[in-house]
Amino acid sequence: MKFGENLYNLRKSAKMSQEKLAEKIGVSRQSVSKWENGESYPEMEKIMKLCDIFHCKINDLVHENMVDIDSLDEEIKMSVVKFKEEKQKKVKGISKAIYVLSRIGKIIITIAIPIIVFLLIVTPIFISNIELKDNTIVFKGARIDDKITITEEKSNDGVTLQLKANGVLIADERNQDTILQIKSVLENNSKLEIISFLELGFTCLLICLVLYRMVLNRLEKLFININQGDTPFTLENVTYIKQIAKLMIIALALPTCGGLIFEKILRTDLDVGFELFDIIQILFLFGISYIFEYGYELQKDTKAKMYGEVSGNE
């Protein structure tokens, strides 16, 4: 079906004369007649006005299979719908799902933040009331049997350490590195150093949670924009992508920097450092921000719309 036929059918369905349509658009009746006869095509601005008048999508004027696209001028070719309707629905459906997940994640982090703040407050009190005696962690002022013990047990692989709380096994040969680190920290560091280590750890975790909440907040706004907008490549979305990239880079770097500080405080090798996957994530985030920026610039130059005239409620 040609553009002229589509326009004719839409006009007839609206029970509108050529004169009335021409008046609404601001052209002569002869222009409307030529459009319907296929003798000429309107400019993109006029096509957008036609869509507003008939409450339709560009697809309703320029048919989805684009059979007559070669007859259109270059501006219209660059401005017709880029995605078919079924693809639009997929993109918008995925965007809605990410929006919902981001919102849920933000709620969870909002609940977790005050818990970490509470741990920051009680940790110094807790640590100041424990002592390590003969591989036993004793709590001051507690009952005689309230203690955590680190014991050596013989196994087929030799001697292994076990961690028990009031006689109940809480860590065994599968957690040897953790048990050794706990023992080493308690034996080789003062309470002040241990408190500093834990407070710094909780502070880093708190900062990371705040950063991730900021990331999720921008993800939520970004993908609801994509779901409700007529294109993902808007200046606002480009800004959100860049902000997300920067925040994620800080969130990835912070644990590593914190770990290096912990190693200095505790004089213990915690095997921290940047991994290849961290670097790939950083490059990926930067790449996404530049792709969106390029899409925005390309779309702005061609005056294109990714989805055409799709309503925000669709």
310 vs 131, higher pLDDT: 131
- Measure Cα distances from 272 to 59, 254, 261, 264 in Å: 55, 11, 10, 12
- Count structural domains, the chain: 2
- Asked if residue 238 and residue 218 are part of one domain, the reply reads yes
Flag whether 113 is in a domain. Answer: yes
Q: What is the pLDDT of residue 91?
A: 81
pLDDT at 302 over 90: no
- Asked if residue 96 and residue 32 are part of one domain, the reply reads no
Flag whether 177 is in a domain. Answer: yes
Each residue's pLDDT tens digit, 128-170: 777 766 666 666 655 545 666 766 666 666 667 777 666 677 6
Weakest-pLDDT range from 106-110, 191-195, 207-211, 214-218 = 191-195
Only one residue has tokens 């070719």, namely 77
What is the average per-residue pLDDT within 294-299? Answer: 75
- Asked if residue 18 and residue 109 are part of one domain, the reply reads no
Supply the range of the domain harboring residue 171. 85-302
- Asked if residue 93 and residue 22 are part of one domain, the reply reads no
Flag whether 310 is in a domain. Answer: no
- Measure Cα distances from 278 to 251, 255, 274 in Å: 11, 11, 6
57 vs 111, higher pLDDT: 111
The two tokens of residue 144 are 């005689």
Q: What is the C-alpha to C-alpha distance for residues 14 and 59, in angstroms, rounded to an integer?
A: 17
Each residue's pLDDT tens digit, 205-227: 899 899 999 999 999 999 998 88
| Mean of per-residue pLDDT scores for the chain | 75
Flag whether 131 is in a domain. Answer: yes
Q: What is the pLDDT of residue 197?
A: 76
Q: What is the pLDDT of residue 201?
A: 81
CATH at 21: 1.10.260.40
203 vs 63, higher pLDDT: 203
